[in-house]
Chains A and B, each alone.
Chain A
Amino acid sequence: AAGVIQSPRHLIKEKRETATLKCYPIPRHDTVYWYQQGPGQDPQFLISFYEKMQSDKGSIPDRFSAQQFSDYHSELNMSSLELGDSALYFCASSSRLAEYEQYFGPGTRLTVT
């Protein structure tokens, strides 16, 4: 069965650079969530989209933005990167048919140097 795809899997950036993370949900899933997991921490909710509209927002820095496109894939854009942005970024997708159970992608490991 198709799973959530995230790209890239690993990313190394320098401080003040920009990064774009991509998430391709399971086919026919209409909801996407982004989570950030710092080293040794639990995943923290950043933002979610339902049918291409932002549905909820968590502790996402103003330097970050995200959107969901017409094909339901989502991108998380991160600017002016800081050392503290180094983390594992998870995307999850869900749908009404899946009873909104969240299926997680493998994550993108971002390292800011």
Chain B
Amino acid sequence: AQKVTQAQTEISVVEKEDVTLDCVYETRDTTYYLFWYKQPPSGELVFLIRRNSFDEQNEISGRYSWNFQKSTSSFNFTITASQVVDSAVYFCALSEAAATDKLIFGTGTRLQVFP
């Protein structure tokens, strides 16, 4: 069965600190996709990244970076030099490679960045 675990329920940091959000997944499929979404207080789901199971390269986008390690079934997300605007709930999600497969979300990590 597919499962996504985000063990960190809530993280608080002070602005400019670096913070890493952990994501561990379970799947029996050899082909799958991993995602990160941001949900600010306004409620919408903002897509951040999608990574397929055959691409283990780390990715960096501005202050955001992602570390995908199949050996540990982890897909961690790091925010460098955090800002107050980064305060949100962050969800990690998993889907099979089937064309119309649903997303399985983790329980989310609430990040609070204080000035």
Instruction: List the interface of chain A (C-beta within 8 A of B).
Output: 31, 33, 35, 41-45, 48, 50, 55-56, 58, 88, 90, 92, 94, 96, 100-104, 106-107, 109
> Is the pair A42, B100 in contact by a Cβ cutoff of 8 Å?
no
Chain B residue numbers with a CB within 8 Å of A35 are 103
Q: Is the Cβ of B103 less than 8 Å from the Cβ of A56?
A: no
Report B39 CB to chain A, min CB distance, Å: 9
The chain B residue with its CB closest to the CB of A109 is B43
Binding site for A on B (CB under 8 A): 37, 43-45, 47, 50, 91, 99-108
Residues of B within 8 A of A100 (CB): 99-101
B50 x A45 contact (CB < 8 A): no
Residues of A contacting B: mostly: strand
Q: List 17 A-B contacts (CB under 8 A).
A: A31-B99, A31-B100, A42-B91, A43-B45, A43-B103, A43-B105, A45-B102, A48-B100, A56-B100, A88-B43, A94-B100, A100-B101, A104-B44, A104-B45, A104-B47, A107-B45, A109-B43
Would you call A50 and B100 a contact (CB within 8 A)?
yes
Binding site of B, secondary structure by majority: helix, strand, loop or mixed?
loop
Q: Quick check: B43 and A48 within 8 Å, CB to CB?
A: no
A56 near B44: Cβ-Cβ < 8 Å:
no
Residues of chain A within 8 A (CB-CB) of B101 are 56, 100
Judging by beta carbons under 8 Å apart, are B99 and A58 in contact?
A: no
The answer to whether A42 and B107 touch across the interface, beta carbons within 8 angstroms, is yes
Give 7 nearest A-B pairs by CB, closest first. A42-B105, A45-B102, A104-B45, A55-B100, A50-B100, A106-B44, A31-B100
Which chain A residue has the least Cβ–Cβ distance from B102?
A45
